[in-house]
């Protein structure tokens, strides 16, 4: 635990394991409601002082954290690979991406502006100012355990809020490392606090019920997000949630199928498919189907699977055994309903992989709407391909989901690109682009994929209240 500027050892502990081989990496403090309450009280006590600092003072601390984070890039990346499983190169890239949020919001802190508003009365003036919401409870996921911390903590600190962070049970070690970054950057005691736990429920209950928590920010599953948002709403807390996704990937007949297949492979198998913006339904026009499938299959079959620390590995382990079982269930259901398996389609156990949670990178063909994988978020290394005939048909199929986070379009027709961009019910859309994310760009979804935005100017707004003053003169 890191509470009120001090590291606290606990008798209750739980083991953190490496998903590549099942080995125990470390044991860590197992917090609960008591520790969460202490952290909230510490954050509340520190709030007035932190909110009273100037934007330039907060920016300076965030800039120092950015510098320290980059200096520790290799250490942070290795820790992430060990406890989360992603290949070391991908982990290193994530550290850089996460550091970007510290840099961006260090600058945005200086741009928190109010406004004057004309009045109908000659003796009245209106002034609107922006102020921090208060104590923020932040819950981050295991799949991007560094960048999801900075994407929440950086704007909160920039706005003048204090924070209590609960990282995912599977990846607390990277959160500990990030707390040391903030500590060494000079964040005052109580401004950032960390509670680690094996059971998130007691900590979550404190977050949604404690009267001194004024804002909840959560990234994780849609089911848990809905539950937390409902409880927080009952206590009139501000909420932002980034939840599940079921991203469509549309390849039109005028697109280059080889280029599109290369893009699909890169983004689909990013982080072993364990990304909320990962394409889950790949719609390919029948005119491009054969070359697209051939290129994608050839590239996927060459992906090296193994421990993220090994040279050349592109596909690491899944997070746990339940994730492997989910892959098997979706593939078997698709097979039973007539899908073809172009490559992969099974758990991997050879060469010591049986000690970890590995599933072969898989390409499914002839996927249809009656299959489980068509409806259910995959969160793993399976690429399902669905043929289509025309534009209106594929837009309807793409929108036929309760999710609305990310989508991808491949076309050479600028008019079609605009039509499809506007017609798709998703918050983030890449047009011939597999990486439509940045600290400077708003990130978030529609429908069951969440509330609010992270990154960009909108990301700072989530942590600010607007206060109006009416002055009689």
What string of H, E and C letters represents the secondary structure of 302-313? CCCECCCCCCCC
Active-site annotation, residues: 242, 276
- pLDDT for 63 equals 98
Closest CA relative to residue 335, chosen from 292, 374, 367: 367
Cβ count near 385 (within 10 Å) = 25
Domain positions in the chain: 2-243+447-472, 247-431
Q: What is the largest CA-CA distance in the chain?
A: 81
- pLDDT for 142 equals 97
Token pair belonging to 358: 């590995």
Helices 172-185, 55-71: axis angle to 10 degrees equals 130
- The 10s digit of each residue's pLDDT in 326-369 is 999 999 999 999 999 999 999 999 999 999 999 999 999 999 99
pTM (whole model) above 0.75? yes
Helices 55-71, 147-159: axis angle to 10 degrees equals 160
Cβ count near 211 (within 10 Å) = 11
Q: CA angle 308-309-315, nearest 5°?
A: 20
3-state secondary structure of 247: strand
- pLDDT for 180 equals 98
Backbone angles phi, psi at 431, to 5 degrees: -105, 105
> Tokens 């920010």, residue?
217
Overall CATH class of domain 2-243+447-472: alpha beta
Render each residue's pLDDT in the chain as its tens digit; 473 residues.
999 999 998 999 999 999 999 999 999 999 999 999 999 999 999 999 999 999 999 999 999 999 999 999 999 999 999 999 999 999 999 999 999 999 999 999 999 999 999 999 999 999 999 999 999 999 999 999 999 999 999 999 999 999 999 999 999 999 999 999 999 999 999 999 999 999 999 999 999 999 999 999 999 999 999 999 999 999 999 999 999 999 999 999 999 999 999 999 999 999 999 999 999 999 999 999 999 999 999 999 999 999 999 999 999 999 999 999 999 999 999 999 999 999 999 999 999 999 999 999 999 999 999 999 999 999 999 999 999 999 999 999 999 999 999 999 999 999 999 999 999 999 999 999 999 999 999 999 999 999 999 999 999 999 999 999 999 99
Q: What is the C-alpha to C-alpha distance for residues 182 and 190, in angstroms, rounded to an integer?
A: 11
Concatenating the DSSP letter of every residue in 27-83 gives EEE---HHHHHHHHHHHHHHHHHHHTS-HHHHHHHHHHHHHHHHHTHHHHHHHHHHH
Contact 293, 259 (CB under 8 A): no
- pLDDT for 276 equals 94
Residue 425's Cβ-count burial label (10 Å; 0-12, 13-18, 19+) is: middle
Contact 73, 95 (CB under 8 A): yes
3-state secondary structure of 172: helix
- The 10s digit of each residue's pLDDT in 390-441 is 999 999 999 999 999 999 999 999 999 999 999 999 999 999 999 999 999 9
Q: What is the C-alpha to C-alpha distance for residues 291 and 297, in angstroms, rounded to an integer?
A: 10
Q: Tell me the HSE value of 141 on the side-chain side, using a 13 A CA sphere.
A: 19
Contact 79, 177 (CB under 8 A): yes
Regarding the domain delimited by 247-431, which CATH topology (the fold level of the hierarchy) does it fall under? Aldehyde Dehydrogenase; Chain A, domain 2 (3.40.309)
3-state secondary structure of 191: coil
Residue 149's Cβ-count burial label (10 Å; 0-12, 13-18, 19+) is: buried
3-state secondary structure of 126: strand
Contact 439, 134 (CB under 8 A): no
- pLDDT for 332 equals 97
- pLDDT for 366 equals 96
Helices 200-209, 33-51: axis angle to 10 degrees equals 40
Closest CA relative to residue 313, chosen from 322, 304, 321: 304
User: What are the residues whose beta carbons fall under 8 Å from the beta carbon of 350, sequence distance 6 or more?
Assistant: none
């Amino acid at each position: 635990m890191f509470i009120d500027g001090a590291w606290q050892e606990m008798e209750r502990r739980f083991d953190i394991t490496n998903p590549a081989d099942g080995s125990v990496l470390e044991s860590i403090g197992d917090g609960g409601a008591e520790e969460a309450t202490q952290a909230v009280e510490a954050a509340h006590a520190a709030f007035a002082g932190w909110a009273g600092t100037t934007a330039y003072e907060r920016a300076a601390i965030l800039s120092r954290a950015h510098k320290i984070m980059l200096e520790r890039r290799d250490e942070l990346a290795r820790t992430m690979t060990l406890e989360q499983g992603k290949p070391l190169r991908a982990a290193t890239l994530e550290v850089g991406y996460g550091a970007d949020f510290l840099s961006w919001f260090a600058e945005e802190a200086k741009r928190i502006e109010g406004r004057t508003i004309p009045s109908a009365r000659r003796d009245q003036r209106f002034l609107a100012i922006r102020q921090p919401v208060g104590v923020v409870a932040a819950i981050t996921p295991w799949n991007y355990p560094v960048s999801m911390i900075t994407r929440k903590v950086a704007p909160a600190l920039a706005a003048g809020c204090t924070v209590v962070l609960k990282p995912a049970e599977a990846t607390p070690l990277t959160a500990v490392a990030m707390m040391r970054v903030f500590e060494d950057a000079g964040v005052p005691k109580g401004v950032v606090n960390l509670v680690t736990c094996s059971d998130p429920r007691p900590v979550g209950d404190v977050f949604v019920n404690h009267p001194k928590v004024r804002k909840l920010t959560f990234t994780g599953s849609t089911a848990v997000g809905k539950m937390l948002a409902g409880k927080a709403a009952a206590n009139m807390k501000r909420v932002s949630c980034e939840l599940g996704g079921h991203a469509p990937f549309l390849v039109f007949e005028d697109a280059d199928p080889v280029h599109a297949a290369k893009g699909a492979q890169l983004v689909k198998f990013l982080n072993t498919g364990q990304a909320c913006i990962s394409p889950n339904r790949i719609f390919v026009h029948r005119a491009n189907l054969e070359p697209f499938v051939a290129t994608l299959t050839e590239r996927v079959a060459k992906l090296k699977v193994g421990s993220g620390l090994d040279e050349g590995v592109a596909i690491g382990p899944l997070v746990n055994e339940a994730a492997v079982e989910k892959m098997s269930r979706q593939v078997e259901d698709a097979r039973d309903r007539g899908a073809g398996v172009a490559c992969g389609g099974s758990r991997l156990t050879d060469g010591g992989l049986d000690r970890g949670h590995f599933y072969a990178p898989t390409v499914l063909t002839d996927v249809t709407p009656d299959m489980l994988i068509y409806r259910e978020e995959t969160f793993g290394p399976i690429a399902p391909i669905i043929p289509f005939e025309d534009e209106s048909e594929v837009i309807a199929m793409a929108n036929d989901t309760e999710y609305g986070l990310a989508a991808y379009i491949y076309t050479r027709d600028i008019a079609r690109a605009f039509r499809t961009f506007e017609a798709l019910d998703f918050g983030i859309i890449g047009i011939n682009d597999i990486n439509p994310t940045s600290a400077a760009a708003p990130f978030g979804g529609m429908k069951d994929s969440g509330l609010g935005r992270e990154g960009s100017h909108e990301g700072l707004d989530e942590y600010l209240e607007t206060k109006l003053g009416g002055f009689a003169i």
